[in-house]
Structure 1
């Protein structure tokens, strides 16, 4: 029997899940989740003095991505976007979030981007022009090096003069700056669906 919408919304907001909740999200028996846990395929922890297991949301997302399981039940079909780059990041994140099916958060610099990426687990990271090229490349490489963020797509927005000399495979796609928000949203959707 399919879970009701209210119950699934509650699960989408939780940071730590029980094996029963993971089973509900993945459409498997709770025993299957316990087996994944015991075999080390699904990371989590046991409650001290109990046999109960708990699975952090980020570990479940990484597991689901690694095994090709659909993320709709845990994501609610929302495309999460992290926009990095100075003062303009907040305005751009707000413009992206105004589109249906998108949730976007800003990060002013590389440090904030790293912290927010671990917490927010975005599908796509947009590196705004306000980040220097070397900072954009550094952020992209750090994303690639993090197992929990392995499937995150990285888009860089560069002006014509910066794009000319850029030959770096750190980015999944490079967009021209300035780029209309509608075009950016369209590219984000395409890139997120490709991976």
Structure 2
């Protein structure tokens, strides 16, 4: 079964596979300082942190589609726990997503740091955090640069939905929704990255 955690540290061979280049090309990038990382003490082996690789790939316009590893990780930030538990089960069993649920702003930040979700679905009407703050946090955190943020609301007009996209959200869902529409929105958001 594929791992649901993204690898934090990569070998030159793994980086080469992701970037579709030869391992010696990755070694050159490392040796000339373009790609940051470190050497294993007492060895010539190089290691590259994932955050450095993502930064390098963006800087050099290398497609990020090689970064997909394991199941798509989805984080829900919402208070409606009973309906979310059912949805999480459906997403896990039918779409094979790794799903985490959190109910507040503080716990969402901690869970996002550990879980490194590909997609964060956040309810816009939480008492503890505003959706725009989640977008700002994700965009300003190196390890979450790849995460997509989808807004959820039961009170969205078409104008408000359009405004969400201009605020940095990658998509939106109107509540109540079916599992199929959630999967479609997740697939649409991740298809641009992976």
Fold-level similarity (TM above 0.5): yes
Of 120, 123, 132, the residue aligned with 1:128 is 123
Aligned to 2:27: 34
Q: Is the 8 A contact 1:121 1:149 kept in 2?
A: yes
Distance in 2 between the 1:122 and 1:172 partners?
A: 14
- Structure 1 stretches of 5 or more lacking a match? 1-5
Distance in 1 between the 2:18 and 2:186 partners?
A: 25
- 1:42-191 paired onto structure 2 within 5 Å: 42-61=35-54, 63-64=56-57, 67-71=62-66, 74-76=68-70, 78-86=71-79, 88=81, 89-128=84-123, 131-132=126-127, 134-160=129-155, 163-164=156-157, 166=160, 167-168=163-164, 169-191=167-189
Distance in 2 between the 1:62 and 1:93 partners?
A: 31
Q: Secondary structure of the equivalent of 2:94?
A: coil
Distance in 1 between the 2:102 and 2:32 partners?
A: 37
Say yes or no: does 1:17 pair with 2:10.
yes
Please state how far the C-alpha of 1:153 moved relative to its aligned partner.
1.9
Q: Is the 8 A contact 1:80 1:121 kept in 2?
A: yes
1:137-178 CA distance string (max 9 Å, x none): 211111122244334221111112xx3595441322222111
Distance in 2 between the 1:170 and 1:70 partners?
A: 21
1:39-62 CA distance string (max 9 Å, x none): 444333222344322123454455
Q: Is the 8 A contact 2:150 2:173 kept in 1?
A: yes
Q: Is the 8 A contact 1:80 1:102 kept in 2?
A: yes
Q: Tell me the matched-pair count.
A: 183
Q: Is the 8 A contact 1:90 1:107 kept in 2?
A: no
Which range moves more in the overlay, 53-62 or 104-113?
A: 53-62
Please state how far the C-alpha of 1:134 moved relative to its aligned partner.
4.8
Please state how far the C-alpha of 1:183 moved relative to its aligned partner.
1.0
- Higher RCO (Cα < 8 Å, 6 or more apart): 2
1:89-116 CA distance string (max 9 Å, x none): 5554333222335222223322332233
Instruction: Calculate the aligned-residue CA RMSD, in Å.
Output: 3.2
- Structure 2 stretches of 5 or more lacking a match? none
The two structures have a TM-score, normalised by structure 1, of 0.73
Q: Secondary structure of the equivalent of 1:190?
A: helix
